[in-house]
Structure 1
Amino acid sequence: MTGLWILLGALTAGLAVGVALRLHEGRIRPARPGEDVDPSHLPERVADALGPAVTLVQISTTFCSPCRHTHARLAMLAENHDGLRHADIDVTHEPEIAHQLGVLRTPTTIAYDAAGTELLRVGGVPDADALLDSLRPHLAPA
């Protein structure tokens, strides 16, 4: 009987963790004050990717299935909106980049302005409309 209670407890805990992770999937989080990385200290590959307006830097790994969906979505957004650029950085063999940026999972998308200041970040596959709404104040009027 004790084994059954342990099993039920483990299943309940696993379900709770799964629900919590699902609720955070694709959530847009604005950059927190004081958390900004000094743009001059950005990893070189990130600094090189920055464009003249807003750049969506996607942090990916080789075997990440959601990363492919994120890449397709962000590439389409950048293609269809002036002032928006997309750069995909694979950190499979360069985990120090993810560490420097505070990225704990892939895909993570970080939006930077032209000066290299973080505007927001998204863990998981972002919702295109919600992402555009969040970035609209930083994009030039069409």
Structure 2
Amino acid sequence: MDTAGPATAAAVVALGVVIGLWRRGTEGRLRASGRGAAEAEGAVEERIDPALLATLGVGPAQATLLQFSSAFCAPCRAVRRISGEVAAMLPGVQHVEIDAESHLDAVRALGIWKTPTLLVLDEEGRVAKRATGVPAKPQLIAALGDVLPAR
């Protein structure tokens, strides 16, 4: 019997929003994408070239957790675990992990300066949120709540 229906997913997202608002931190905190004040307010969105996404192995999905990692990075393993759990919990979410050292052109193009870096992409490849370090699971769920269509 499958108990993870739309109501359960909505409850998980709502709980994530509440907990995400309560929990504060600097490292691993998801923040609006962009480099200027207007971008942080959502006036300008960074959209990743679909050809680059295809090169990185990102397929169609309602939301994508795009993780940049390196081989001997312990925090990268934590982000992999958290992102994988969240993607398995929420329908329409995929997690794609990229080895930063093997994709230096993409790393440069996307302004990835350290690992782990996690990008939360919407269905059209726009970067909605960006985190360096290890985000808390509730923060990640809340960020996806902003990207996923209402049910």
Same fold (TM over 0.5): yes
- Structure of higher CA gyration radius: 1
Which residue in 1 is equivalent to 2:79? 70
Asked whether the equivalents of residues 39 and 115 of structure 1 are also in contact (C-alpha less than 8 Å), the reply is: no
Deviation of 1:85 (Å): 1.0
Which residue in 1 is equivalent to 2:105? 96
Asked whether the equivalents of residues 24 and 123 of structure 1 are also in contact (C-alpha less than 8 Å), the reply is: no
Deviation of 1:130 (Å): 1.2
**What runs of 5+ residues in structure 1 fail to find an aligned partner?**
1-22
Which residue in 2 is equivalent to 1:27? 29
Which residue in 1 is equivalent to 2:3? none
Residues 1:38 and 1:86: Cα distance change in structure 2 (over 3 Å): closer
User: 1:82-93 residue pairs with structure 2 within 5 A?
Assistant: 82-93=91-102
1:49-103 CA-partner distances (Å, limit 9, x unpaired): 1432000000011111110111011001000111211000112232222111101
Identity over aligned pairs, percent: 29
**What runs of 5+ residues in structure 2 fail to find an aligned partner?**
1-24
Bigger relative contact order, structure 1 or 2 (CA pairs below 8 A, ≥6 apart): 2
Equivalent pairs, count: 119
TM-score computed with the length of structure 2 as normaliser:
0.70
TM-score computed with the length of structure 1 as normaliser:
0.74
Runs of 4+ residues over 6 Å off in structure 1: none
